[in-house]
């Protein structure tokens, strides 16, 4: 796999060694067993796959190279390059300005840009409409483009489906930058509709079966489908693509729900003419990280920590998986751990920032923590959380000793 030039501030003492060990022990990436760092009174269970994915590393390399190679020029990002506060704060400190908020609210007017300005497309990609806005102002949106290759793969598949007469059903969050970009690109070649979850998939399945009317479809999906989307016609032939950071298991479940509805309505003999197989578009990194998390959850642990940006979709899904098994704290970095009596964290469902008291497990014997991080979280940030937690235990083993024992 390609090696990326990542700034030193995002590298780590602990996690880098863990990943080196994991890659040496499992070069073909087929073993999802976690790694255990035993510090005596506390141990940390590290999933096989976590942290910076290929697309994020690619984006960071391009972003920092762009800044370094354009001294004296104004550098803008269309929006946050990735959903991580540490990375985006560092970019701002280096003079970068964001044109949009993640919600889509415009912060800098198009007319404030000049042809001398640098504009960087974030890892989520951007819409056809925004690309045209830039081109009209003499700014090439493809010169500094950090769009994830796996996001582009989804676009290509969606466009291909449209050109073959299929509609696109997009599993994603309608207001997420990536979904907005995917919807924009694939709708150039055919009808598209966005669905959020299994509940909406079941609703759409009933539309296909004829149990829900066109008016009911419009009421439910009219605001997140292409103009004039006609379910009676446009759901006769379709494929399912997704926002790459959604739960891969949920996308697969949605695919199956809709495929079953198609078979029930049209029959199985000509299934390929009505339902396109798009399973090859699922992001490998998202799938690996989620599968590795499930494997780590099979090991006994007292608590789980998931570290990453609070507006990170892929990170919130890792939290969702962990919460099904044990108490989980979603934190952006070590600063949220105030003491053994108090921790600040994020509730991704309610979009609130609760404070938990007396959160540290009270037990005799070793305490075990699952430590996980989202695809946009630097290894150095996860390191910081581990080191912060070690401060609460008496006489833990030295980091160097633990890492040396890991390497054997």
Looking at the annotation, which residues are catalytic? 178
Alpha helices in 240-306 (DSSP H): 248-266, 284-296
How many alpha carbons lie under 13 Å from residue 201 in its C-beta half-sphere? Answer: 24
Encoded tokens for 8 = 């030193």
Helices (H), 243-361: 248-266, 284-296, 313-323
- Name which of 167, 154, 152 is nearest 258 in CA terms: 167
* C-alpha span between 242 and 182 (Å, rounded): 9
Rounded to whole angstroms, the Cα distance separating 129 from 137 reads 13
CA 274 to chain centre: 30
Q: How far is CA 263 from the centre of its chain?
A: 32
The beta-strand segments (E) located in 83-231 are: 97-98, 118-120, 167-171, 192-195
Tokens 């045209």, residue? 132
Q: Helix (H, G, I), strand (E, B), or coil: what is residue 54?
A: helix
Strands 355-357 and 342-344: antiparallel
Phi, psi angle pair for 301, to nearest 5°? -150, 155
Question: b/e per residue, 358-389, with b = 16+ CB within 10 A?
Answer: ebbeeeeeebbbbbbbbbbbbbbbbbbbbebb
Structure tokens at 83: 């959903």
């Amino acid at each position: 796999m390609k090696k990326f030039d990542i700034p030193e501030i995002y590298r780590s003492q602990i996690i880098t060694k863990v990943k080196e060990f994991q890659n040496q022990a499992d070069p073909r990436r087929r073993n999802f067993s976690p790694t255990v760092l035993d510090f005596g009174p506390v141990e940390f269970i590290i999933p096989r796959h976590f942290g910076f994915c290929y697309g994020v590393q690619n984006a960071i390399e391009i972003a920092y190279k762009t800044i370094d190679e354009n001294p004296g020029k104004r550098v803008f990002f269309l929006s946050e390059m990735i959903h991580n506060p540490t990375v985006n704060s560092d970019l701002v400190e280096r003079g970068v300005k964001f044109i949009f908020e993640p919600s889509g609210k415009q912060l800098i007017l198009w007319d404030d840009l000049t042809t001398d300005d640098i504009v960087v497309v974030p890892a989520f990609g951007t819409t056809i409409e925004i690309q045209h806005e830039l081109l009209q102002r003499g700014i090439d949106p493809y010169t500094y483009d950090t769009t994830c290759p796996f996001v582009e793969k989804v676009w290509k598949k969606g466009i291909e489906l449209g050109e073959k007469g299929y509609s696109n059903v997009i599993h994603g969050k309608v207001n997420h930058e990536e979904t907005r970009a995917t919807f924009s690109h694939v709708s150039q070649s055919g009808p598209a509709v966005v669905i959020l979850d299994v509940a909406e998939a079941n609703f759409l399945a009933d539309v296909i079966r004829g149990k829900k009317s066109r008016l009911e479809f419009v009421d439910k999906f009219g605001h997140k489908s292409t103009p004039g989307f006609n379910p009676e016609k446009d759901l006769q032939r379709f494929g399912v693509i997704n926002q790459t950071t959604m739960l891969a298991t949920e996308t697969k479940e949605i695919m199956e729900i809709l495929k079953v509805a198609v078979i029930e309505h049209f029959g199985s003999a000509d299934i390929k003419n009505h339902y396109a197989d798009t399973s090859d578009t699922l992001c490998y990194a998202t799938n690996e990280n989620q599968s590795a998390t499930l494997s780590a959850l099979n090991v006994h642990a007292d608590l789980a920590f998931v570290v990453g940006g609070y507006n990170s979709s892929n990170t919130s899904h890792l939290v969702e998986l962990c919460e099904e098994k044990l108490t989980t704290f979603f934190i952006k970095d070590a600063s949220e751990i105030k003491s053994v009596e108090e921790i600040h964290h994020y509730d991704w469902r309610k979009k609130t920032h609760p404070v938990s008291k007396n959160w540290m497990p009270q037990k005799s014997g070793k305490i075990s923590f699952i430590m996980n991080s989202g695809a946009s979280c630097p290894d150095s940030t996860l390191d910081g959380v581990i080191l912060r937690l070690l401060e609460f235990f008496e006489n833990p083993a030295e980091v160097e000793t633990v890492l040396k024992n890991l390497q054997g």
